[in-house]
């Protein structure tokens, strides 16, 4: 479980995060939702420690992270896996070497143990047989999968994903989303995903935090999000025509049901 409390961050006088608090539960996919430029990625980077917040704290399973001693922060960081927007695979290494890298750097595993773990992780993300390929030789979706394999290789406790389906086609996006969901549940990982994709919300969002102009405007489950009356959130959700049509259809169905119910009541009376 990750807790954040009153996170503030400004860049050159411009407030990007304005007192964000929240609890991200383990074994669940937590989504940071919002339009571009609302501070989602900055919040994610504040949580993992890539950006130091001006104010506020982050706690990983009860251990204070922000401003704690370097070795404690290092210890926590070694439990973190992160999937970057552009995958951030090391160009000079093969797929296999990329996945092996954190094992080599962070564990005392023997070469044989590392190879077994690499093969297992690549198989888990559906990339068996791609071991010797270079990042430049694989597709965007495959790069994301390698990124996930690299993140989970050292048995991470916390998984952070920065827009995991950006630049991917809808089908591959759903596959990546489902893979993250499965891994989260399988290994009881605390997963935080930055996204502005409503498909991800519907498919995998266990808990959603909606950010707007650096503030957390709403939090809840994917079932609650369609019923909310917050204008900014509704504007975001129904910006997509497909979502508007779906909502219209749902409202019509709802009206029909209401009509039928009233007619039924009338007949009974």
Partner 1 sequence: MLQHFGKYILFMSTLFVRGESPRIIFNRTIDEAILIGINSIFIVAIVSTFIGAVTCVQVSYNLTSALIPRSTIGFMVREMTILELAPTITSIVLAGKVGSNIAGGLGTMQITEQVDALEVMGINSASYLVLPKVLAALLVFPMLVILSMFLSIAGGYIAGTLSGEITAQEYISGIREDFIPYNITFALIKSVVFAYLISTISSFRGYYTSGGALEVGAASTTAVTNSVIAVLIADFICAQLLL
Among 1, 88, 109, 202, binds partner 1 (CB under 8 A): 88
Helix (H, G, I), strand (E, B) or coil at 92: coil
- The least CB distance from residue 179 to partner 1, in Å, is 19
Q: Is 48 in the site for partner 1 (CB under 8 A)?
A: yes
Nearer to partner 1, 45 or 222 (CB): 45
The answer to whether residues 126 and 134 touch, using CB atoms and an 8 Å cutoff, is no
Site string for partner 1, 100-119 (x = CB under 8 A): --x--xx-------------
Eight-state DSSP code of residue 158:
E
Nearer to partner 1, 49 or 164 (CB): 49
Site string for partner 1, 132-171 (x = CB under 8 A): ----------------------------x-----------
Q: Is 77 in the site for partner 1 (CB under 8 A)?
A: yes
| Torsion angles phi and psi, residue 66, rounded to 5 | -60, 130
Q: Is 70 in the site for partner 1 (CB under 8 A)?
A: yes
Pairing assessment for the beta strands 80-83 and 2-11 based on DSSP bridges: unpaired
The answer to whether residues 89 and 98 touch, using CB atoms and an 8 Å cutoff, is yes
Q: Is 37 in the site for partner 1 (CB under 8 A)?
A: no
How far apart, in Å, are the Cα atoms of 32 and each of 22, 26, 39, 116, 161? 11, 15, 10, 34, 10
The answer to whether residues 232 and 38 touch, using CB atoms and an 8 Å cutoff, is no
The answer to whether residues 17 and 8 touch, using CB atoms and an 8 Å cutoff, is yes
Q: Is 125 in the site for partner 1 (CB under 8 A)?
A: no
Which chain residues interact with partner 1 by CB under 8 A?
Answer: 45, 48-50, 70, 74-75, 77-78, 80, 82, 84-86, 88-91, 102, 105-106, 160
């Amino acid at each position: 479980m990750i807790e954040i409390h009153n996170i503030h961050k400004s860049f050159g006088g411009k407030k990007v995060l304005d007192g964000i608090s929240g609890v991200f539960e383990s074994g669940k996919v937590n989504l940071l939702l919002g339009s571009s430029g609302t501070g989602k990625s900055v919040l994610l980077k504040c949580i993992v420690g890539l950006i130091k917040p001006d104010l506020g704290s982050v706690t990983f399973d009860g251990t204070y992270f922000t401003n704690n001693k370097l070795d404690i922060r290092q210890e926590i960081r070694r439990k973190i896996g992160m999937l970057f927007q552009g995958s951030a695979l090391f160009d000079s290494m093969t797929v296999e070497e990329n996945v092996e890298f954190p094992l080599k750097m962070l564990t005392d595993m023997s070469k044989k143990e590392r190879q077994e773990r690499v093969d297992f992780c690549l198989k888990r993300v559906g990339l068996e047989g791609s071991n010797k390929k270079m990042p430049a030789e694989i597709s965007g979706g495959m790069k994301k999968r390698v990124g996930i394999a690299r993140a989970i290789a050292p048995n991470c406790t916390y998984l952070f994903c920065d827009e995991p389906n950006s630049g991917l086609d809808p089908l591959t996006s759903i596959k990546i989303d489902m893979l993250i969901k499965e891994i989260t549940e399988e290994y009881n990982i605390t997963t935080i995903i930055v996204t502005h994709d409503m498909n991800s919300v519907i498919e995998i969002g266990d808990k959603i935090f909606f950010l707007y102009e650096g503030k957390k405007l709403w939090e809840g489950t994917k079932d609650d999000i369609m019923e909310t009356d917050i204008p900014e959130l509704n504007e975001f959700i129904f910006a997509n025509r497909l979502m508007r049509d779906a909502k219209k259809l749902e409202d019509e169905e709802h009206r029909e049901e209401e009509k039928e119910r009233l007619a039924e009541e009338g007949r009974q009376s």
